[in-house]
Amino acid sequence: MVVGDFPIELDTLVVGAGPGGYVAAIRAAQTGQNVTIVDKGNLGGVCLNVGCVPSKALIQAGHRFEHAKGAEDMGIKSENTTVDFSKVQEWKSSVVQKLTGGVEGLLKGNKVDIVKGEVYFVDKNTVRVMDEKNSQTYTFNNCIIATGSRPIELPDFKFSDRVIDSTGALALQEVPKKMVVIGGGYIGTELGTAYANFDTEVTILEGMKEILGGFEKQMSSLVKKRLKKKGVEIVTNAMAKGVEEKEDGVTVTYEVKGEEKTIDADYVLVTVGRRPNTDEIGLEELGLDMTDKGLINIDKQCRTSIDNIFAIGDIVEGPPLAHKASYEGKVAAEVIGGENAEIDYLGIPAVVFSDPELASVGYTEQEAKDAGYDVKASKFPFGANGRALSLNDSDGFLKLITRKEDDLVIGAQIAGPNASDMIAELGLAIEAGMTAEDLALTIHAHPTLGEVTMEAAEVAIGQPIHIVK
């Protein structure tokens, strides 16, 4: 190994080039900082390479295959529809390559220096970066840590060729005949849905009483209904006990109501959460204030207990969402650049690319009440929307949460087609301090799914047009 004799001095160092790190690096450069970003893997992090983007590509391919099999109620029939899964994987990889290549171009275009290697902190102003051949010491004035997270591995389900995490599920070279999914959260539900659309026989084992526990039951029940229609078996209050691996599959043992059961499958996918990547990078040398779960404590400016070190994304409190990491990255970069920025999470949406899609922003009805607000919840069904009916996808609703005293929009939940896109308008309404009347008076094109937002706002102000009050 070659070791650099003299430390290289840096202005701002960003550790990790995922959606938090690379965005932070670009924004820091835009504020006039000289920025260096370091990552041991591919640019784009988990999200672009083995997470958000490839999973949505696989989900989309699954929808295409499902639709290609026909829609008899529309008079469309199809026979002998097949899928070449190697081609699906090839297409998915091409999407990833376009985006990761784009990240490199953006970083270079903003004059950010890119360094490959693993980072180890020596003290609050020094890191050592190592690759297979070299080791170089760097000193920095400010640092943003954005090292992301990794899937949690269960003691009785060690990852292998047949016991896989989300990365493994995205890299399968064939469509499994049977798959067991341990964990009915957003990752397990999304990937379980994708493979069910490819005709895999999927069983979801969830330890709680409902899947998608972070969403209201009236939303998750719509997803359960669709999953069952696809042939997915959902077992709740189930405790996964162990797995027996064979050359061509697995046998999973689980317990429900005190009774042990087994199920055979080609693969078992474990999606029970993610663990922050804060170990093995020398943070113990710094003495950062951290939680017992390995998360770094930060203030409203993403600053850690050490003034010149900031932390963002999956390694701090809050949901492990790429757009949360990007947002925090901008805040941290702007603070280092001398701007008066701070985090405000109320307008950060949560989205599940299930079937139908789920999305939420701001307060739910119960959260608002728990926070002391006197609120009303106003719902409008997709079944009364012309565009949803013409898409033959009219299950679901939009619920608007407003304060009774002034109709201020403080939350919204959507279960239905294109919920992931529609939630942005509601996030803007919350950020801009808009009222239900503001939304109702905004002219929405017809016929579009976006009209559901306007219609729900009209319900909120007591002037609904397309449902009877």
Which sequence positions are flagged as catalytic?
446
Tokens of 29: 């450069």
DSSP assigned state of 251 = E
3-class SS letters over 253-297: EEEECCEEEEEEECEEEECCCEEECCCCCCHHHHCCCECCCCCEC
Give Cα 419 to chain centroid, integer Å. 14
Cα-Cα-Cα-Cα dihedral sign, residues 275, 277, 281, 284:
negative
Q: Is the peptide bond before 417 cis (omega within 30 degrees of 0)?
A: no
CA-CA-CA-CA torsion for 110, 113, 117, 122, nearest 10 degrees? -110
CA–CA separation, 446 and 182 (whole Å): 42
CA–CA separation, 216 and 352 (whole Å): 13
Cα-Cα-Cα-Cα dihedral sign, residues 26, 27, 29, 34:
negative
CA–CA separation, 285 and 131 (whole Å): 21
* H/E segment holding residue 58: helix 52-68
CA-closest candidate to residue 112, choices 184, 55, 33, 187: 33
* H/E segment holding residue 180: strand 178-182
